[in-house]
Structure 1
């Protein structure tokens, strides 16, 4: 009995240990009423293509830990986790994540609740069993509407106070959005934390490239303005 109890005590701390990785990344994608079924599928495919890009996988392998943890969440009036936390460290694990992204039915719908979406992303980070050297929410959307939930800036400030950086990918459509420059609106109201940035993307083929570019920057822990970013992104120029 004594030996059994000792074995259980020795095993307990190991079971409670957190997984350590370089980056905890929440991909928070728009699934509100402005995104139809084809666009939703295209968004998922774009993220799947981007995370399995050799340049993205190489960026992951060049991090301090050689891995990142990533989850894919869609937001609207409600939020839904499409792919749970996955450790990505090589092409095989990146492909596993990408394959899981394609196929699940739509679970988030309705109008915008950006503030609630940001807080949900924070909860996913705080509640997991992973300890990342950096923690980032990657928010994408095509408007600034916030019909439900807390104010956007209030939610942003709460997330940033928890030590989480918010980056943004505003999806710019022809004709713009009601209120003017979406990139500026996201910069002023959504992004926050150390090294936070926003990159605009047009819907269509440019969207996939913008996601790939943004992932490389986030994985490397840099921004579009730095010299190192230019070096990291140089291999992508041929694929434009």
Structure 2
């Protein structure tokens, strides 16, 4: 590992280096990604929902997120996708994230195979409000998601991380480092970039957040992005995304395209062909240039 360590020291701050190396040491010690826990109940997918609660979101927007996820999980479309799977059940875990110092468990690993299961989760999501926290560490959210997938108590056919967020990574290790670690473990990362720009969000927003997610965040087999431009699109976007993830459908097999008009939200698959370079450190640079505007740690 020495040459990798030296390379990282030249490119990362000490705190970021420590986190990346700690993550690498944990991952190296794990069993191969496709090996499943002995005796675990079989599920079609082990799905982690990582929900952004960074300070750029208002209380109302946080509530919209909670309602959107609750409605989607209990929706007819998502339940149908679960029922049509080979095992007819999925494993689901949910947590909220902001900076790499803040993750909050909302739902521990839970089997979802019936309407009653889904409605119980929806009720849990609606029981309390989300609380916003400072900074935006997508890399920290991926690291926490990988730890959850390491501990999944089910025999999962697939492992998927579903990340929502309204800005680029601005704290913790570079997001591409953690994305590549997850993909190397056989994990797929999909993205729900929230491209709403209002209130505090405008200070750290980027106009091409969907492209940032596509180029810097998502990865793995069948990875895709569903961008949200207006908050009224959020519930449908979450339903659509969950159906694709649970059903292991490629974006071009999206059932929404068969039932909706031309105004349907786009699904953007990951691209693997060579492309022009993209700055995946744009969030870190924006934070460096603008952090003095805020006294409390900002977003």
CA distance in 1, matches of 2:141, 2:257: 33
| Residue in structure 1 matching 2:163, options 122, 131, 139 | 139
Shift of 1:128: 2.2
| Residue in structure 2 matched with residue 162 of structure 1 by the alignment | 185
Shift of 1:84: 1.3
Contact conserved, 2:164 with 2:193, CA < 8 A, in 1? Answer: yes
TM-score by length of 2: 0.69
Shift of 1:145: 3.2
Whether 1:194 and 2:218 are equivalent positions in the alignment is no
CA distance in 2, matches of 1:63, 1:48: 21
Query: What is the DSSP-based 3-state SS (H/G/I as helix, E as strand, rest coil) of the residue aligned with 1:102?
Result: helix
Shift of 1:131: 1.8
CA distance in 2, matches of 1:111, 1:200: 21
Whether 1:29 and 2:51 are equivalent positions in the alignment is yes
CA distance in 1, matches of 2:131, 2:150: 22
Going by fraction, where is strand more abundant, 1 or 2?
A: 1
Counterpart mapping for 1:1-240 below 5 A: 17-77=39-99, 78-106=102-130, 109-147=133-171, 149-174=172-197, 178-224=205-251, 226=252, 228-229=253-254, 232-233=255-256, 237=260
Contact conserved, 2:46 with 2:152, CA < 8 A, in 1? Answer: no
Contact conserved, 1:142 with 1:170, CA < 8 A, in 2? Answer: yes
CA distance in 2, matches of 1:161, 1:104: 36
Shift of 1:200: 0.3
Contact conserved, 2:195 with 2:207, CA < 8 A, in 1? Answer: no
Shift of 1:234: 5.1
CA distance in 2, matches of 1:42, 1:146: 24
Change (3 A) 1:29 1:165: same
Equivalenced residues, count = 219
Q: Which moved more, 1:99-108 or 1:118-127?
A: 99-108
Contact conserved, 1:22 with 1:64, CA < 8 A, in 2? Answer: yes
Query: What is the DSSP-based 3-state SS (H/G/I as helix, E as strand, rest coil) of the residue aligned with 1:99?
Result: helix
Change (3 A) 1:178 1:106: closer
| Aligned Cα root-mean-square deviation (Å) | 1.9
TM-score by length of 1: 0.85
Contact conserved, 2:46 with 2:90, CA < 8 A, in 1? Answer: yes
What stretches of structure 1 of length at least 5 have no aligned partner?
Answer: 1-15
Shift of 1:174: 4.2
Contact conserved, 1:80 with 1:107, CA < 8 A, in 2? Answer: no
1:134-177: per-residue Cα shift (whole Å, max 9, x none)? Answer: 11000000100322x21100010111111110000001114886
Contact conserved, 1:75 with 1:117, CA < 8 A, in 2? Answer: yes
Change (3 A) 1:150 1:118: same
